[in-house]
Every structure is written in C-alpha cells, then in structure tokens.
Structure 1
Amino acid sequence: MKRSGNTAWWTSPRPLWLVAALFAWLMATAWVRPLMAPDEGRYAGVALQMLYSGDWLVPRLDGLPFFHKPPLFYWIGAGAMALAGPVEWAARLPSILGAVVAAATLFLFLRRWSTVRLALLSTVVLVTTPFFFLGAQFANLDMLVAGCITGTVLLAAGAVLARERDEPWRAMLAGAYLLAAAGLLAKGLIGAVLPAGVLLAWCAVTRKTAALRLAAWLPGWAVLLAVAGPWFVAMQMRYPEFFDYFVITQHFRRFASSGFNNEHPFWFYLPVMAGLTLPWFGWLLVPRRKEAQPAGRRLCDVDWLMWIWLAVIVAFFSMPRSKLIGYVLPALPPLAYLIAQRVLAGRPLEVLLPRLRAMTLAAAAVCVACMMAIVVYATPPGARLRLPADLAAAPGDQVVMLDNYTYELPFYWRLRNPVLVSGDWKAAGDEGRDNWRKELLDAARFDPARAAATLIERTQLATTLCSPRTSWLVGPNNAQLANPWLGRAQLVAFNERIAVWRFAGSAARDPHCLDLSPGAPAPAAQATTGKGTDGND
C-alpha cells in the first residue's frame, strides 16, 4: 500500500543516514562552551597528555599514572586531538560517539523486534531528551560507558530472540561481547556486569532458560578477553598495586563506603530522571486511554526487557551513598522506549503527527536552551584563561601551581610537560574525599620518583623558583594573602577564580629570592575584584 504524505515522517531511515543525523545533532553545540572544571578539564587533560607524551598505554594526570578509570575515553580523545588539536569538541568526541552508539542500536533493535514507528519515536525521544543531549556534550566517561552498556544489552537480547526463531544470531552475540569489552575499557567492571545483570534477569523472568547458555559462549569470551584483557594484564605487570587500587578501591570500596563526595538519598535519581527528561516525561503522566491496552494484555519480550533494564540500572546506582547524575545515563534508552510506547498507544497516527512534530521541536529547543544556560550561568568566568598576546611561556619555562591544581589549564595552554604543584603534601595524608590533592596523591603511589619531582613541598618552593629560569605561577586570585612574596612577581592575567604571575627567578640562584625586605609591609593582595585580563573567548 502506498504511504500517504502525512506518514512520510515515519518511514524507516537508512542506518548510515540515521547515524550521520544523530552525530550531526549531538555535535552541533559541542564546541560552544569551554571545558568545565574539574571533570572535563581532568579527562581532556589526561587525553592530551597521552597524545603529547606518546605513551598510549598509561593514562597520566600531570605526568603521574592515573588509574581511576581505564583508557578507552583517553584513546578516543587523544586520537581526535591528534587530528583536530586541543579543541573542546575533540575532547567531547568520546561522549558523542557513546551517545550515537546508544541511539543507533536502540533504533536498529526496535526496528527489527518491534515496529518502525516505535523505533523511530523512541530514538527521537532519546536524543531530544535534555538529560541525554547534555550527557553527550560532557567530556567524562558516563555517556561512553552508557553507549557500551546499551549496545551490549540490545545486541545480546537480539541474539537471544534471533536464536529462538532459528535466525542468524552469532554475529550479534559477538558484537555484544565486543561492546562489553569496550565497556570494561571505558569504565571498568560495570561495563560488563550491568548488561549481564539486565540480561540474566530478563531471561529468568521471561523463562528463556535455554538462552542462559549463551553467557558461556566461548567465541564471545575469546573476543572479550582479546580486546579488554591485554591492557589490564599490562598494567598489573607494570604496577603490582594496580589490582588493589583499580578493582578493590575504585569499584568495591567506593561502592560500599561513605565519606566520598556527592552523597544523596536512595530516591535521588527518581526526581532527577523525571526533571531532566521533560518535556517527554510528561507523557507518562497522561492518563492511559481505555482502548490503548486491552484488558489482560501481557507484556511482550521487548517490554519486559525495557522495564527490567530501567529497574536494574536505577536500583544499582541508588544503593551507594555517593551518586552523580550521569551514572544513570544507561537507563535513558529503555525510558525513551516506554515514553514512546505510551505516546503511540491507541492514538491515530494522523492525529498524533502534528503534535509529535511540535513536541520534537520543543524538546530540541529545550536541549539547546539548557546548553546555552550552562554557557551563561554554569561556566566559570575566564574558564579559557590564556596569557596575554604579548607574553608566552617559552619551552624552558616552568609552570607552578600554588596550593591548587587547575585541571583545564594544561589543555588551554597546550602544555607538553607536567606542571609543578606546590602544597603541604606531607600533611595532606590519604584524604577520604575526592579532590585534586587526593587524585595527585593516589597517582603518586605508582611513580614516587616522578612525584618527588612534580609535587613540591611549600617549604621547598624557594629552591624551585630561585633559579635562572622563568616561572609561571598559577593560583587562587587571592593567593598573595598567603604568599606575600608574590609581590615580587608580575601579575599577567586573572579572573574570578585564578590568577597568573610571571616570576623571573634568580640568575645568581639566590636562595632568599622570595624573602621580603625586613620590616617591609606585605604587598596588598591583587586580583580579588574579578576585573582584569581573563582571556575568555
């Protein structure tokens, strides 16, 4: 039967065109705002340092081995920056690719095992949900692993359904194991454990006990181990403490312990997901039409998969006290399906199409508006702090950060070498809460020799600075209150957070070059008004 013009919106797009459209939509605003501290600055900085150092095996934060997370995000980011340079969209490309994988696999799975209408609307709902859109625009690991988890679940579920119908299934299952390996390399054990939990629960509820044998499919395990195994083995061989730190501490201790950042109640994710998926979430609040679902209709296999998937992800991340919003991004694809199903249930297509077009445009506008709001209200002033045009750090100069580590600065200054970080390191100890100091101290455990040359005790600062070389000092914009000797340095740039000084050093290596004249008053603090050269572009 010939399709009418009103239903052309529902025709199935070609997969390559769909992927291109998804990528273009998610990439469209990836460049408009500077990196946000600390997360985006941290992960982009590690990727850039991987590129500059030429060591693509060990992720490094300020030159020190950084094993909070595996390397897949850094590999993709470093590869993108090798082609485009250190620009924001290249730093965010891993997240964008994760979002494209999630949306594309959702569409392809539903097109095969449900209807084209439901597949297309679910995908549209997903990519125009502010939660998903903003997650794809943020340079951290959450969206990348969400894409891997989504692809693993859907490819494995497709293999199960195809096997039941005596259709080809091995390629899909191999793809599921491949994406599980990518999930392991993206964010560790959750990349494989969460999809396994979803699939095992789904098979148990739908009584697909025979399908459980696919979990022991040897070719799949060979793919997983061949892809993910070498990096973990290499790190354990090089750093004997790697397993205890990466697996025990970063996975199990963090999951079970309190005292970390971002503690929230058990129900935290429920209002978060409802609020950040508007306006689409509103459809779930619309009373169901009587003819939408006949009495006694049973949930199909796909329905069960989506409900179980949503419940497992939300419940898993609700258990630990420490919660970040991005953790539940893997729950958005099933939620998008459930919303789309509610929208389409029992409603004539001719009546729905005008409303859906308007709703899609409104949702897309909300996504862009949220991005603009972040640019205006959530981006720190002068986040792209640069040196004035007439000043530049020469190759022999050293950069020293005072009692702080500004994550995004090495990215924007394109520093090829680690910076020196001054602080009271001996008194810092092993801090329980996450911050820049704990991250550097944790990294220092794996390379004490490099750490000794990078993490400078405040009492040894004079030895570092009183040398015949120029130093660029970066610290809080009121750092002169605690370091009156900064009156000897030239203030070259500052904003509401940080300031930069240029210190000429001492040609004679005078160990007292930081001393103030006896009896001289301490210079007044500078750069506390927020006015000056901020270099924000």
Structure 2
Amino acid sequence: MIDFLTRHPAPLPRPAYLHRLPSLHWLWLLALAALFLGIGMGLRDPWPADEPRFALNALEMLKTGQWWIPHRAGEPYPDKPPIFMWAMAASIQLTGSVRLGFLLPSLLGALGTLALVMDLANRLHGRRVALLAGLALLSSFQFGLQARTAQIDMLATLWITLGAYGMLRHALLGPARRWWFLGCAGMGLGILTKGVGFLPLLMLPTWGLLAWRRQAVPLAWKDLALGVGVILGVVALWVVPMALYTSFSDDPALTAYRDNILFKQTGERYADSWHHVKPWYYYPLEVIPWAWLPLVLALPWLVPTWWHRTRRRDARILLPLSGVLLVIVFFSLSPGKRGVYLLPTLPLLVLACAPMLPGLLCRPRLHWLGAGVLALFAGMFLAAGVLGALGLPALARLAERHAVSPWAWWSLLGLIALGLLLWGRARHGMLALVGWLAVFWLSWSTWGYQLMDPARSPRDMMQQAVAITGPDAWLAMPAFDEEFLLQARQPMVHFGYHTADDAQFQRAFAWLADTPEDRWMLVPQHRDEEIACADLTRARDLGVQNSEAWWLIPGTAFAGCPGDAGAAPLYVAPTTLDAASAE
C-alpha cells in the first residue's frame, strides 16, 4: 500500500520563470472570449432537446416560487439537481428576457473554465504557454458548441475544472490546502449540477504514485478526509432538506421524486442505463475525432511526447493526462453514453498539451494535416451548398423536412475555407483551420440562428394556435414536448412525461369531454391511429414544426372517443411566456 498520504517531503521549488499573467492579458483574452462566445445571444429561442426543458424549469421557479424541487409544467422533474435551473432562473430574472438569459449560465461557465485553465497553465509553464492554452481551449469544437448551448454540461464542466484546479494547485504547486478544499467545494457543486462533479477524484491514484516517487506534493489522510467531508457537506446543503421535505410530504409524487433523483438518476443510470446505449468504442471512434478538433490532429506528435514525459514522471503532464484517460474509461464502462459527457476532458487535455503547444506550431506536417482537414470542409460545404441551391432531390427533401434552406450559408463557408487555404497554404494549415472554425461559429451564432430558429422553435406555431382558439381556450398535448409548453400563449395541460401514450390519450379524451367547446388538442399528424375515433375533418393543419406535421383539433371533434379520467394524471402547465419576456 502506497503511503503517500502520510509522507510530507519538502514542497517542490517553484521555478523563477513561473510568474503571474498580467491582468491586461487576462482582460484582453477574456474579453475576446466573451465577445466570441456571446455573439448571437438574444437571436434565438431555446431549442430541443434539452434547452426548452431547463428554461421551462427556470420559468416555473420564477412563477411559482418553488425553488427547492424543480418542476416541468407542474410535474416534479427528477432527472437533474437544481443548480443549473437556479442559474438559468437568475439569469432570466436579471436580463428580463428568456432569449437573453437562458444562454448566460453556459457562457459564464465557459469563461470561468477558460480562466482556470489559463491561470494554471501560467503557473506551471509561463505566460506564453498560458495564452496558447487559452486559445487552444477556445478553439476546441466541443467547447465552442457547449458554450453556445443551454445544456447543463458547460456549468458542470466549470465545477469539475475548479475541482481539478484545486487538486493540481495542491499537488504541483503546493502545499496549498486551501485550494484543495476549494476544489472539493467545486466538486460538491458539480455533483449538485449533474452528479458527476467527483470526476477529479479519479486522479487520486496517479497523484498518490507521483507523491510516492516524490514528483508531487502528497495529500495527508486528514486533508483527504476533510476534502471528502467538504464535498459531502456541499451536497448535503440541498440533499438533506430535499429528502426531509419529500419524506414528510403527503404527496406521492414528491416521494417518487426523492427516490428517482437519489437512486435511479445516479447508480442505476450509470450501471444499467435505459437510453443513449452505445458500444464501448463510442468515445474514441465516434466522439473524440470531432469533439477534440483541432487538437485531435496533433495526437500523432503528442502521444510520443506524452510517453517520453511519462518515463520522466513529469507530474505536470501525468496528472491531467491521467484525468483525461480515466474520465474516458469511466464513461465508457457505462452502457449509456452521450458525446457531451466528454466535455470535462477538454480542460485537462489542454493542460496536458500546454507545454508542447509552442513546438506543435512549428511542425510542418501538422500544418499539412490541418490544411487537409480544411480542404475537406471546403469541399463538403461548397458542394452541399451548390447542389442544394440547384435542387438535388436528397438535399431538397432534407430542406423540406427541416424547413431550412442553408445553401447560401454553406456555400459561403466553403468559399471562405478555400480562401483561407489559398492564404495559409500548407505552411499555415492549422492557423487557417482555426480561423475557419472561428468564422463558422460566428456565422452559426448569427446567420445560422436566424435560419434555424423558425424551424427549431414553435413560437410562430403557438401564436397561430392561440389566434385560432383564442387566448382563453385550453389546449391539451398528449406525449408533449417541452418546447411547445415553453412557447404556449394560452393555458395548457399534459398527462405526465413518463406516462404511457395510450393512457395519456384516454385521459385527454376524458378531459376534452368535460367542456369540449372551450378545449382543443395539439397533436402530431402521425398519431392518427390514437385519434382515429375523432372527426379529423374538423382538424386545422398547422404545418410542419420540428420535422413533424401538426393538427389543432377542437374538443367537439372527439365526441366519439371513449375516455378514462383515471388513466393518467393531469398537470396544468403555467403559462410560461408573455410578449415581454419572450423577446
């Protein structure tokens, strides 16, 4: 048994060249990042699959005052703890707008993660490397995507990175017990955000081995125990009151919420996942090639260098690199996998690459590889744009299905890629690729938002529905999607997110039969079998939304449909948006 937890060698000397990054550099790069990542905020609504759900949770908190137990349209939402919903609710309240506020937590999470990575890279390797590390993280494809997406993962990555930062400050630049405890608090917040905030603890075995070989500052058993106590204490700040509140409640829905959030969404979700089931090779073969772009192109040079540093037991490389590998292994062992789960590896990957970045930029073959990838993008986008504009049947069907015609946008992206190739040639291929990725994200956040928002957000369709029914008419939506409830301009009911579809329709028929003159149903046209009993000649065609055709049917058309009021629960969704807050 390695006794690194009880040994206390002298702290590692801090080289003289490790000096703090001047505040001016911090301000310039963070201001650039805030501008780059923040462009487009306010230009679109929350898009499915996850964004409308969290916006609905946040708005319901603001409207009902129920902050401790997140609700989704009146029904307790047990899939995630409430930290991200709290942050989104605060952002919407601060900005006074859903469109402005719902993306703010992800933006702040990205900027915080960037600041932590740059600061640690500066302390370990110096100012120049810190700037390159910041630019490397900022240009990483998955980082740019999630910073512009209102999913829970960017904020969770901030807390996970804070946990890793505290560990690495103590292990490589310590002793720094305060940073270790602050990192543990970050891990606790990460658990309250997405449950996997403990991921930095996967680096403990590597830390122990390096401390045993006197390559890192050891962690005392007492500090380890206190750190775990800090993690559990932060988690207990929400879990204990929640468990008491739900346990002493007479509402069986709250008891089910407690059991779901504490057990099903943790151990069962990991060990016996019921969705997103992927093969073991999903991450290395299907996610890393695009998520780690453009850093992934440097792996042929990074891997031998990492091996050399491993033989030298360079703790500055081994600790973050072990974190990357163990996070991949951890998520690969679960049958349920999503590409976004690897987002926390990017800050650690950048730290593991940081001292090699200046040398990588001098590798001609790496630039040739970057130019080749950029040429591939140029051909793909230019061909798709031109052929789509010419009416190629396959692309025309795709555009009709999604109600988007991006041909001019794609053609311009292809032409810009060609222009950057001519400018940079093979000698500066990586710089040209990074420049094109910046253009891609800027156009995505402006032109792309304007093109896709009408197809991804049902705002216009729900306004059309209220114009037909009147603002006081009630609307039922069996098998609902959150984006429709989020954009509702009239009272709506649903019948439980996880209720079987047949039971939902039976309950809907009974509800409509109570006062059919004032009640309507919103339903996809492919559900024609479930509503075959209705008089569909009275249905209003609302067109295509989210790749599906929709009907708006008056309650009087369901006179021949047998209902069952006990088949499913009935939830009244608070009217979430009004004209002021929607803009």
TM-score band, normalised by the shorter chain? Answer: 0.7 to 0.9
Counterpart for residue 210 of structure 1: 218
* Mapped pair 1:60 → 2:71: yes
Please show how residues 30-41 of structure 1 align to structure 2 within 5 Å. Answer: 30-41=41-52
Seq. identity, %: 23
Q: Select the residue among 228, 241, 245 that pairs with 2:235.
A: 228
> 1:73 offset after TM fit, Å?
0.7
2:512–2:520 CA contact under 8 A, matched in 1: no
1:197–1:312 CA contact under 8 A, matched in 2: yes
> 1:379 offset after TM fit, Å?
8.6
Q: Deviations over 1:260-286 (max 9, x none)?
A: 222211121113112233233222335
Please show how residues 164-175 of structure 1 align to structure 2 within 5 Å. Answer: 164=175, 169-175=176-182
Q: Deviations over 1:25-47 (max 9, x none)?
A: 22213444543323222222222
Number of aligned residue pairs: give it: 462
Q: RMSD between aligned alpha carbons?
A: 3.9
Bigger share in helix: 2
Counterpart for residue 521 of structure 2: 473
* Mapped pair 1:110 → 2:155: no
Counterpart code for 1:254: R
Q: Select the residue among 536, 540, 559 that pairs with 1:514.
A: 559
Please show how residues 182-221 of structure 1 align to structure 2 within 5 Å. Answer: 182-188=189-195, 190-192=196-198, 194-207=199-212, 208=216, 210-213=218-221, 215-216=223-224, 218=226
Counterpart for residue 497 of structure 1: 548
Please say which of residues 322-331 and 294-303 is displaced more in the overlay: 294-303
Alignment CA distance shift 1:278-1:296 (3 Å): closer
Please show how residues 15-414 of structure 1 align to structure 2 within 5 Å. Answer: 15-85=26-96, 87-164=98-175, 169-188=176-195, 190-192=196-198, 194-207=199-212, 208=216, 210-213=218-221, 215-216=223-224, 218=226, 224=231, 227-240=234-247, 241=255, 244-257=259-272, 260-271=274-285, 272-286=287-301, 298-345=312-359, 355=428, 358-368=432-442, 380=455, 383-384=458-459, 385-388=461-464, 391=467, 396-402=472-478, 404-413=479-488
Alignment CA distance shift 1:58-1:314 (3 Å): same
Counterpart for residue 494 of structure 2: 421
1:386–1:413 CA contact under 8 A, matched in 2: yes
> 1:316 offset after TM fit, Å?
0.5
Counterpart code for 1:195: P
How far, CA to CA, are the matches of 1:47 and 1:72 in structure 2? 10
How far, CA to CA, are the matches of 2:450 and 2:462 in structure 1? 18
Counterpart code for 1:333: P
1:472–1:500 CA contact under 8 A, matched in 2: no
> 1:389 offset after TM fit, Å?
9.1
Counterpart code for 1:213: W
Q: What SS does structure 1 have at the residue aligned with 2:550?
A: strand
How far, CA to CA, are the matches of 1:35 and 1:284 in structure 2? 36
Counterpart code for 2:193: A
1:284–1:339 CA contact under 8 A, matched in 2: no
Alignment CA distance shift 1:173-1:232 (3 Å): same
How far, CA to CA, are the matches of 1:184 and 1:367 in structure 2? 30
> 1:247 offset after TM fit, Å?
2.8
How far, CA to CA, are the matches of 1:106 and 1:295 in structure 2? 20
How far, CA to CA, are the matches of 1:483 and 1:387 in structure 2? 24
Counterpart code for 2:236: G
2:277–2:335 CA contact under 8 A, matched in 1: yes
How far, CA to CA, are the matches of 2:310 and 2:523 in structure 1? 66
Counterpart code for 2:543: F
Contiguous gaps of at least 5 residues in structure 1: 1-9, 423-435, 442-454, 507-511, 517-536
Counterpart for residue 3 of structure 1: none
2:171–2:217 CA contact under 8 A, matched in 1: no
Counterpart code for 1:405: F
> 1:69 offset after TM fit, Å?
0.8
How far, CA to CA, are the matches of 2:26 and 2:302 in structure 1? 34
Counterpart for residue 394 of structure 2: none
Alignment CA distance shift 1:212-1:243 (3 Å): farther
Q: Deviations over 1:418-463 (max 9, x none)?
A: x3225xxxxxxxxxxxxx843x68xxxxxxxxxxxxx855156244
2:321–2:348 CA contact under 8 A, matched in 1: yes
Alignment CA distance shift 1:318-1:369 (3 Å): farther
- TM-score with structure 2 setting the length: 0.69
Q: What SS does structure 2 have at the residue aligned with 1:158?
A: helix
How far, CA to CA, are the matches of 2:244 and 2:55 in structure 1? 27
Contiguous gaps of at least 5 residues in structure 2: 1-20, 248-254, 368-423, 562-582
Q: Deviations over 1:134-187 (max 9, x none)?
A: 1222222222211210111112211333434xxxx3442342133122102101
Alignment CA distance shift 1:301-1:468 (3 Å): same
How far, CA to CA, are the matches of 2:206 and 2:158 in structure 1? 20
Q: What SS does structure 2 have at the residue aligned with 1:387?
A: helix
Counterpart code for 1:336: V
Q: What SS does structure 1 have at the residue aligned with 2:103?
A: helix
Alignment CA distance shift 1:247-1:501 (3 Å): same
Counterpart for residue 371 of structure 2: none
How far, CA to CA, are the matches of 2:54 and 2:100 in structure 1? 13
Q: What SS does structure 2 have at the residue aligned with 1:413?
A: coil
- TM-score with structure 1 setting the length: 0.74
2:141–2:290 CA contact under 8 A, matched in 1: no
Q: What SS does structure 1 have at the residue aligned with 2:475?
A: strand
